[in-house]
Structure 1
Amino acid sequence: MTERVFLLPDLGEGLTEAEIVQWRVAVGDTVTVDQSVVEVETAKAVVDVPCPYAGRVVALHGDQGEVRPVGQPLITVAEPTAGGADGTEPTGHAVYREEERAGSGNVLIGYGTGHGGSRRRRRPRLAPAAPANGAGTASAPVPAVAAAVAAGPAGHPGGVPVATMPGPVRVISPIVRRLAREHGVDLSTLRGSGPGGVIRRADVVAVVGDTDGGAPTPAPRLAVVPERSVAAHSPDPLAAPRQPARDDSPAPAGGQDVVIPLAGIRRAIADKLSRSRREIPEVTIWVDADATALLETRAAINSASPDRPVSILALLARICLSGLRRYPQLNARVDTEGQRIVQCAGVHLGIAAQTDRGLVVPVLRDADRLTTGELAAELATTTAAARAGGLPPSRLTGGTFTLNNYGVFGVDGSTPIINHPEAALLGVGRIVDKPWVVDGQLAVRKVTQLSLTFDHRVCDGGVAGGFLRHVADCVERPALLIAAV
């Protein structure tokens, strides 16, 4: 057998590390080319990593919840040799060889290496358990996966024993596993209180309190905030305000500190927003606009083409693109090292979306080349994929202008932070009934607040005000969009 070490691949976009969320294979399993072997979380997204080698897994480098640098060993696979002791192909090895020939070995995060590997894995083979020094064999054969897992991943002795478990430990969050390791809690002995028996942080915290001896159990000094699910982000500013997500986990006892790990996507958000606030001298301006005609226009479009509905967000995106064509100064970035302003040739439109992993900004490449119908379709599929965590890192970076619909949270206005290194961001508040003067008469109209946050280095107030006024005028009189084309 020839052992091949698969290194954590370059994840692109300047990413240098990834946190292991869940191993999809165990030591002793057999893997095929392009089979997903591990799920990792980067600063951009949660992705599956396919393995370019076929064979038997002999080592997993890293525990769940551990951060691994790019270029460091991730998994070691023993590939079959060309022939057995008698010169013939060993049973089953021909299959591996065929799979190796079929794969390209070029790892693309989220897409496999050529033909997309299945997430299913073969049953672990029964094999003798090898001693620690690799010499000799055990007197009685045992399932290789059970023996290896009981000993912990290679290079990490003292792992949590799970050999006696009837099935895999039902833990989703790597934070729960880290908390258990820190306090020496055997997850295989816990009965989870979450849906389907999933072990939650509260379960681990309760066990930590029970291990303090016969004395009354004191409240743990640190309580970790329970995970909360975030409701789906609606692309329509008319959507009803979101209700706070309910959480059935026990509330932290009085006097406890609340600890929220700043890691993964949450850490990337914090770093990027902090850099934006440090480097960009931002200014926010706003205006109220009568969106009644915009809603009527949307209704007319959808009535004419009910099979291809257009959202309010798609119409607002079209209005933004019209404004950026007239005011290209806002579709730019500042190159601080070169001491210059770079106005981008195309508009790569970012759409701020709330997901259960935090705020992400998926990007629509060359949005200025899309029709309104294409914009609507692309917005729907992109935001859905972002909430499901199915977008690769390359789809979450490279924007030149961002559209932020915070109206779905039931608020009217905001002064958001610019998505660095962009130069501007348009925010849209909720659309509500308000008194409005129309032709000298008071009427009830559908009104929204529009805000523009811009980098004062790329333009002055005249350009920013002109852009926002153009957007407001198009919201109030959508026919202007035709004249602006």
Structure 2
Amino acid sequence: MAKCIPSARCWRKSSDWPQAGHLIQESFEEASAMSVESVAARAQSNVNTGSGEAAAPAFGAHLPPWPQVDFAEFGEVEVKPVSRIQKLTGAFLSRNWLTIPHVTHHDDADITSLESYRKARNDANPAVKLTPLVFLIKAVVRALQEFPQFNASLDGDGKNIVLKKYFHIGVAVDTRFGLLVPVLRDCDRKSVEELSVELAAISQKAREKGLSMAEMSGGCFSISSLGGFGGTGFTPIVNAPEVAILGVTKTRLAAAPADDGGVSWRKMLPLSLSYDHRVINGADAARFAAFIGTVLADPQTLAG
């Protein structure tokens, strides 16, 4: 799951996913002359042909053909076809990984105060459960306001950088269909309670029914949380045309010097910030991650 971050933005009905009709608008399907298979095949052929013959390489990447191995020669195997959704997702992931010069910056955020504040808010209002993720969304918005180059996209020919004045955040949701990325709009105008209710509703819909194109489009920045699974860091793939993505993993306890000379145990949240090096440099990435840590340490300012 370390490299399966937001990818597909167009979907088509498929026999292996009856609910996939929820993921496409009729106008989009009518406007598109290419099927899922043709999109995936074209992107994949830029990497390899799968037949042992070298294909025309994508973007100047001269790659060798994919190894052709008879795995049954070494032991018992089971062959399962790749689903249409996997083909499409793989095509966009391959494109993003090959064309974007990725760098991933790692840092830690002290969320000790945040966790105490969050639990107190939940105890006071059990009707709305506040998760760390909604505070992270608000922190990301603050960081995007402070560092506008992260709320940007390169245009089609790469000659201009488009700076966005809105703050729509995509959040990766693990579903039985695969990874879906609903977009929460105007996060700068919403409270953590509003975001919590909206995120819970859209996540449930994603898991049960799937999402429409409209619900997965227009994102400025994406967040992928593996905190429920574990890990200490990973390398999320930037979701083009966005220029950065933030991954977080499981909170851990870390010892820090206390004022009385003893040891204070702090709750630390690992941050993994992948970015497009054509738009963002390393110093700005370090500042961006550090800024997120600073605002997370003062949760009251994020709660509005």
Scaled to the shorter chain, the TM-score interval is 0.7 to 0.9
Measured at CA, do residues 338 and 290 of structure 1 come closer, stay the same or move farther in structure 2, by a change above 3 Å? closer
**Is 1:20–1:40's contact at 8 Å kept on the other side of the alignment?**
no
Aligned equivalents of 2:181 and 2:285: distance in 1?
22
Aligned equivalents of 1:357 and 1:14: distance in 2?
14
Give the alignment of 1:201-240 within 5 angstroms.
none
Give the alignment of 1:437-476 within 5 angstroms.
437-439=257-259, 440-476=261-297
Percent sequence identity over matched residues?
35
**Is 1:222–1:258's contact at 8 Å kept on the other side of the alignment?**
no
Q: CA deviation at 1:47?
A: 7.4
Tell me which of 4, 15, 19 is aligned to 2:14: 19
Matched residues, number: 257
Aligned to 1:312: 132
Answering whether residue 190 of structure 2 is matched by residue 366 of structure 1, we say no
Give the alignment of 1:333-344 within 5 angstroms.
333-337=153-157, 339-344=159-164
Aligned to 1:31: none
Aligned AA (2:285):
A
Q: CA deviation at 1:393?
A: 2.4
Measured at CA, do residues 427 and 71 of structure 1 come closer, stay the same or move farther in structure 2, by a change above 3 Å? closer
Answering whether residue 83 of structure 2 is matched by residue 263 of structure 1, we say yes
Aligned AA (1:382):
I
Give the alignment of 1:60-75 within 5 angstroms.
none
Tell me which of 294, 298, 304 is aligned to 1:477: 298
Aligned to 1:429: 249
Aligned equivalents of 1:315 and 1:41: distance in 2?
31
Aligned equivalents of 2:25 and 2:287: distance in 1?
45
Aligned to 1:41: 20
Measured at CA, do residues 303 and 40 of structure 1 come closer, stay the same or move farther in structure 2, by a change above 3 Å? closer
Aligned equivalents of 2:121 and 2:231: distance in 1?
27
Q: CA deviation at 1:338?
A: 5.2
**Is 1:287–1:449's contact at 8 Å kept on the other side of the alignment?**
yes
Q: CA deviation at 1:405?
A: 0.7
Aligned equivalents of 1:397 and 1:425: distance in 2?
15
Q: Greater strand percent: which structure?
A: 1
**Is 1:402–1:419's contact at 8 Å kept on the other side of the alignment?**
yes
* CA offsets 1:322-370 (integer angstroms, 9 cap, x no match): 1111111101111142521111221111101111121121111222222
Unaligned residue ranges in structure 1 (runs of 5+): 1-12, 23-38, 50-68, 73-220, 224-253
Tell me which of 189, 206, 219 is aligned to 1:386: 206
Aligned equivalents of 2:109 and 2:218: distance in 1?
30
Give the alignment of 1:52-451 within 5 angstroms.
255-337=75-157, 339-439=159-259, 440-451=261-272
**Is 1:18–1:70's contact at 8 Å kept on the other side of the alignment?**
no
Aligned equivalents of 1:444 and 1:338: distance in 2?
47
* CA offsets 1:82-135 (integer angstroms, 9 cap, x no match): xxxxxxxxxxxxxxxxxxxxxxxxxxxxxxxxxxxxxxxxxxxxxxxxxxxxxx
Aligned equivalents of 1:71 and 1:459: distance in 2?
35
Aligned equivalents of 1:222 and 1:414: distance in 2?
30
Aligned AA (2:14):
E
**Is 2:20–2:210's contact at 8 Å kept on the other side of the alignment?**
no
Aligned AA (2:281):
D
Aligned equivalents of 2:33 and 2:238: distance in 1?
32
Q: CA deviation at 1:21?
A: 4.8
**Is 2:258–2:264's contact at 8 Å kept on the other side of the alignment?**
yes
Bigger mean CA offset, 355-364 vs 256-265: 256-265
Aligned AA (1:455):
D
Measured at CA, do residues 372 and 284 of structure 1 come closer, stay the same or move farther in structure 2, by a change above 3 Å? same
SS of residue paired to 1:293: helix
**Is 2:25–2:213's contact at 8 Å kept on the other side of the alignment?**
no
Give the TM-score normalised by the residue count of structure 2.
0.75
**Is 2:144–2:150's contact at 8 Å kept on the other side of the alignment?**
yes
Aligned equivalents of 1:370 and 1:40: distance in 2?
31
Q: CA deviation at 1:434?
A: 2.6
**Is 2:10–2:24's contact at 8 Å kept on the other side of the alignment?**
no
SS of residue paired to 1:19: coil
Aligned AA (1:471):
I
SS of residue paired to 2:13: strand
Measured at CA, do residues 449 and 71 of structure 1 come closer, stay the same or move farther in structure 2, by a change above 3 Å? closer
Structural RMSD (CA): 3.1
Aligned to 1:218: none
Aligned to 1:178: none
Q: Greater helix percent: which structure?
A: 2
Measured at CA, do residues 411 and 71 of structure 1 come closer, stay the same or move farther in structure 2, by a change above 3 Å? closer
Aligned equivalents of 2:180 and 2:110: distance in 1?
29
Aligned equivalents of 1:259 and 1:466: distance in 2?
47
- Whichever of the two has the greater Rg, that structure is 1
**Is 1:47–1:390's contact at 8 Å kept on the other side of the alignment?**
no
Taking CA–CA contacts closer than 8 Å with sequence separation of 6 or more, which of the two structures ends up with the larger relative contact order?
A: 2
